[in-house]
Amino acid sequence: MSIALFGRWHLEVTKAVHNWENRFRIEGAASGDGTYPPTVGLEVTADGTAWRLRGEYRKTDSDPWEPSAMMIDAGLERAAIRATIGSEDPLPQPDFEDIQWEARYLGSTMLEIPYRPYAVRVDDLFQMPDGVFETALGTYYMAVRVINRWGLPFTDTHVVDISPQSRADLAMRGIQVIDQWSQAELASLGQAQLGTGMVLGPLVPGSSRTVYFKVDVRGASPRKHEVEFVCWNIAGMADPGHSMRRVRKHIFVSRTRVDAATGEIVSEVRQGTLRFKLKQFAFDRVNGKKARRPCPGKKPDLNVARDKLRETLRSLLEGKPVDLCLIQRILACYCAGGGPGEDGRDPRRPSDGRFCYDPFFAFPTGFSYTVTPAVPFEGQYGPIPFDDPWWKVLLLIIAVILLLAGALSEAADVAYQDEDLVIGRLGRFQRDDVDAALCMIDTDRALAFLQVLDAQGDEPSQNAVTALDGDVALVAPVLTRAEVTAIMALPAADPQRAIFKSGARSGLTHGLMSALSATGHPEATWNITQLVIVQDPAFNEPVSQAGDSGSIWVQTQSLRPVALNHSGDADDLGVFGVASLLDDVQTALNITIGA
């Protein structure tokens, strides 16, 4: 028998009252492992992901050591746990004092929320682009990933909640936390509610669970908003205000509206504003037409409806000829009006003022947009290509709004013919595994695919492949997955591993194919392996930085394209990059590159 402990603990022997020889062992710890005598005052610190404390006894020197019974009493729960642990030999009247320890947990937090909470639509559990909460769509589930970082398991009385102060702060900023849940709703998300919190346990340390809160962001301003989460034990705790129980994270809110004067969709975040003009879109004509219906008006006056119904029923009971369908029409007239909103419209369903719509497919295929940063800059080059690509996220959010709303009447006028601003038409795309899209670019500035800019004279990296300020002509076909796998088996210094890319942020830089990895960007889905690129010591240049996404990695020796760059290190130091093999991109999009 043993006691399972997690993380860093300090143990001090406080009692050793026994008839037989005793000892204790710490097993499975990264530090502190060993066998110890039960000397009162002996102190040991042990640390590890998961380890065990075992008391042992033997009757004589020739007998084998056998496990003692063990118990742990943490008393009224404290975030910084102080527990009594005892071992007991098999004798009458157990008191668990053969060896007794005072145990103190030395960790710094109870829970970790590894990334910011993200928005999930309540109707279809679809995650919003980049997890952003868009005010135009109203109510969301706020998904929160929680990891137990405590010294003991969470039980079915441990909950994670939004603190009362944070709820009040959010309400002042236009974000309402909704605590009303149906059992069916909770069951569909696989969670249980205690009070206003969501149950965490059973959850052992190191394990994680996603819980969901319901929020209405319609009144929120477009910016980041801080949310404070707390871990409480509903069964009782001595320190509900302890800092170890609290974690603060930010959520991001955007606000999208239609500018009736210009026919543009205007989307705002803290970094700036994007104005989007729809030129052409694809939609499901059959189901879209079926989804449209006149919006209901206000609910008729209750007393008027009652009087009409009472008069009709009285006539019926008096034997007068009455059209029975009239009763149905009176009820239908009253019941059809009203609904969830004061004006009778369901706020979850889109409306253009004349008609209400059920969701149906509509996706922009021809459009123009302008980006205005919140902080202006001078000169030709600004921070937008090098910053978090918030404007791309806004384009995805607008696509989601159009998907839900069908064609917004103010923005769906395909008569706009500003051809100078049309950037192209979107074809096939694949978000998971390769993160790529096929676009028909309507511009005379695009280079051919099998041609990239060489190092430029005004860029930090000056190690040109062919000539400074020139172009590099590439060679088809792309390297196949089999060829890349074979290269990975070569020595690390083999010249076939050398590659380069021409990125918008860092320019033309060199790297080395390092490995094929099962993971890519941590917030995306990858069911196929990804290519990891590291710095080439011969050049010591940044591999991938924010703004380089979409650039092509090319094998230096053959000039054949290899992979589509999409990620780098979290600190944006350029020490490594991650890319999808172009062989996989071809398969996902059903295309042949360079043919």
What 3-state class would DSSP assign to 556? coil
Residue 72's Cβ-count burial label (10 Å; 0-12, 13-18, 19+) is: middle
Cα gap 506→575, rounded to integer Å: 12
- The pLDDT of residue 1: 80
- The pLDDT of residue 361: 55
- The pLDDT of residue 550: 82
**CATH H superfamily, domain 451-589:** Trypsin-like serine proteases (2.40.10.10)
- The pLDDT of residue 14: 96
DSSP code, position 135: G
Region 537-559 average pLDDT? 90
Say if residue 290's pLDDT is above 50. no
CATH of region 3-105, choose from 3.40.630.10, 3.40.50.880, 2.60.120.400, 3.40.30.10:
2.60.120.400
Q: How far from chain centre, in Å, is Cα 82?
A: 35
Q: Which residue has the higher pLDDT, 370 or 335?
A: 370
Read off the pLDDT of residues 205-226 as tens digits, 9 standing for 90 and up: 999 999 999 999 999 999 999 9
Cα gap 46→352, rounded to integer Å: 64
Cα gap 367→275, rounded to integer Å: 11
Percent of the chain with pLDDT over 90: 49
What 3-state class would DSSP assign to 504? coil
- The pLDDT of residue 446: 38
User: Model confidence at 174, in pLDDT bands (50, 70, 90)?
Assistant: very high
Nearest residue to 386 (alpha-carbon basis) of 546, 537, 242, 202: 546
Radius of gyration of the chain (CA): 32
The region that residue 118 occupies, defined by phi over 0 for left and psi between -120 and 50 for alpha, beta otherwise, is beta
Read off the pLDDT of residues 405-457 as tens digits, 9 standing for 90 and up: 543 333 333 323 333 334 445 555 666 666 676 665 443 333 556 888 898 88
- The pLDDT of residue 568: 86
| Residues 6+ away with beta carbon under 8 Å from 127 | 118, 119, 120, 121, 143
- The pLDDT of residue 443: 39
Cis amide linkage into residue 94, ω under 30° from 0: no
pTM over 0.85: no
Q: Which residue has the higher pLDDT, 92 or 581?
A: 581
Region 48-69 average pLDDT? 93
The region that residue 245 occupies, defined by phi over 0 for left and psi between -120 and 50 for alpha, beta otherwise, is alpha
Cα gap 383→372, rounded to integer Å: 12
Tokens for 591, please give them.
């295309």
| Residues 6+ away with beta carbon under 8 Å from 577 | 511, 532, 533, 543, 544, 548, 565, 567, 568
- DSSP assignment of 413-446, as one string? -TT---GGG--EEEEEEE-SSS-EEEEEE--SSP
Tokens for 50, please give them.
């998961």
- The pLDDT of residue 555: 96
User: Model confidence at 151, in pLDDT bands (50, 70, 90)?
Assistant: very high
- The pLDDT of residue 508: 93
Cβ neighbour number for residue 64 with a 10 Å cutoff: 7
Tokens for 220, please give them.
């929120």
| Residues 6+ away with beta carbon under 8 Å from 31 | 45, 46, 47, 48
Q: Where are the domains of the chain?
A: 3-105, 111-258, 262-284+361-422, 300-336, 451-589
Region 491-503 average pLDDT? 93
| Residues 6+ away with beta carbon under 8 Å from 280 | 364, 365, 366, 367, 414, 425
* 143-157, 169-183, 348-362, 429-443: segment of lowest average pLDDT: 348-362
- The pLDDT of residue 86: 95
Cα gap 180→196, rounded to integer Å: 9
- The pLDDT of residue 196: 95
Cβ neighbour number for residue 268 with a 10 Å cutoff: 21
Tokens for 103, please give them.
């145990």
**CATH H superfamily, domain 111-258:** Immunoglobulins (2.60.40.10)
- The pLDDT of residue 577: 92
Beta bridge partners of 436: 430
Region 552-572 average pLDDT? 90
Q: Which helix (H) or strand (E) holds 516?
A: strand 507-517
Say if residue 584's pLDDT is above 70. yes
DSSP code, position 108: S
Strands 66-67 and 51-58: antiparallel
- The pLDDT of residue 546: 81
Read off the pLDDT of residues 341-381 as tens digits, 9 standing for 90 and up: 444 445 445 555 555 555 555 566 777 888 888 877 665 55
Beta bridge partners of 150: none
- The pLDDT of residue 525: 66
Mean pLDDT in the chain?
A: 82
* 83-92, 249-258, 364-373: segment of lowest average pLDDT: 364-373
C-alpha distance from residue 465 to each of 460, 471, 492, 508 (Å): 15, 9, 21, 9
Beta bridge partners of 230: 161, 246
- The pLDDT of residue 476: 87
Tokens for 427, please give them.
């074809």
Cβ neighbour number for residue 77 with a 10 Å cutoff: 18
Q: Token match 């088809």: residue? A: 476
- The pLDDT of residue 417: 33
Q: Which residue has the higher pLDDT, 572 or 34?
A: 34
Nearest residue to 551 (alpha-carbon basis) of 563, 568, 540: 563
- The pLDDT of residue 216: 96
Nearest residue to 235 (alpha-carbon basis) of 161, 160, 157: 157
Cβ neighbour number for residue 115 with a 10 Å cutoff: 11
Number of separate helices (H) and strands (E) present in the chain: 8, 36
Say if residue 107's pLDDT is above 70. yes
Say if residue 92's pLDDT is above 80. no
- The pLDDT of residue 314: 79
